[in-house]
Amino acid sequence: MARRPLPTLLRNPYAALLKGRGLVRTAADNAVDVFHPLITVGRGLRRLLAWLRARWDGTPGEQRGPLLFIAAAVVAVIAILPYGPVLAVAATTAAAAWAGRERPVVATGPGPAALARLRCLYEALVPHFGDAGDPEPLYSYRGDHTRVFDDCEFDGEDRPVRLRLRYPAYFDDGDPASRERIEQLLHAKAGRGREYRFDWDEEGNRLTVTALEPLPCDVGAQRFVTAPGEILLGITDACDAGRTVPVEGEDGGRDAPPVLWRTGARSTEPHLLVLGEPGSGTTTLLRSIALQALEEGELLVLDGGGTGGYACLAGRHGVLAVESDLAGALAGLEWAAHETERRLAAVNAALRDGRPVPEDACRPLWLLVDRPGVLGRLARAEDRPDPQDLLEVPLRHGRAANVTVVLADEPAAVGNGLSAAVCAGARARVALGPLAPGEVRAVLGVPAPTSRAAQVPPGRGYARLGSGPAVRLQVPAVPDPYDEEVPEARRRAVLELLPPRRKTLRAVREPAVAEG
Instruction: List, for residues 311-320, the tens digit of each pLDDT value.
Output: 999 999 999 9
Is it the case that residue 7 has pLDDT exceeding 80?
A: no
The residue ranking higher by pLDDT, 371 or 29, is 371
Residue 95, phi then psi, degrees to nearest 5:
-65, -40
% of residues, the chain, pLDDT over 90:
37
Q: Residue 381 above 60 pLDDT?
A: yes
Given pLDDT bands bounded at 50, 70 and 90, which one contains residue 463?
very high
Backbone angles phi, psi at 81, to 5 degrees: -75, 150
pLDDT category of residue 24 using cuts at 50, 70 and 90: low
Q: What is the pLDDT of residue 361?
A: 86
Specify the 3-state DSSP secondary structure of 28: helix
Look at residue 104 in the predicted model and tell me its pLDDT.
Answer: 65
Distance CA 226, CA 232 (A): 8
Domain with CATH 3.30.980 in the chain: 112-212
- Domain 112-212, CATH number (from 3.30.2420, 1.10.3470, 3.30.980, 3.30.70): 3.30.980
What pLDDT, in 10s, does the model give residues 205-263?
999 999 988 899 999 999 999 998 899 999 999 888 888 999 998 888 899 999 999 99
CB 193 within 8 Å of CB 454: yes
The predicted structure's pLDDT at residue 69: 87
User: Higher-confidence residue: 350 or 504?
Assistant: 350
Single-letter amino acid code for the residue at 251: D
Q: Name beta bridge partners: 195.
A: 212
* pLDDT of 516 above 70: no
Lowest mean pLDDT among 47-61, 92-106, 454-468: 92-106
Q: Specify whether the CB–CB gap between 379 and 387 falls below 8 A.
A: yes
CATH 3.40.50.300 range(s) for the chain read 230-497
Q: What is the mean pLDDT of residues 275-298?
A: 93
Domain spanning 230-497: CATH 3.40.50.1970: no
Residue 23: band (very low, low, confident or very high) from pLDDT cuts 50, 70, 90: low
Segment 182-198 mean pLDDT: 86
pLDDT over threshold 60, residue 506: no
Q: What is the pLDDT of residue 190?
A: 82
Q: What percent of the chain has pLDDT over 70?
A: 90
Q: What is the mean pLDDT of residues 272-286?
A: 93
Instruction: Tell me if residue 305 falls in helix, strand or coil.
Output: coil
Mean pLDDT of the residues in the chain: 85
pLDDT band at 510 (very low <50, low <70, confident <90, very high): very low
pLDDT given for residue 14 in this prediction: 52
Residue 275 pLDDT > 90: yes
Check pLDDT > 60 for residue 511. no
Instruction: Give the residue among 394, 391, 436 at the shortest CA–CA distance from 412.
Output: 436
Amino acid in the structure at residue 238: A
Global pTM value: 0.75
Q: How far apart are CA 230 and CA 259, in angstroms?
A: 10
pLDDT, position 29: 66
Query: What mean pLDDT do residues 316-332 have?
Result: 92
> Taking the alpha carbons of 166, 168, 171, 175 in that order, is the dihedral positive or negative?
positive
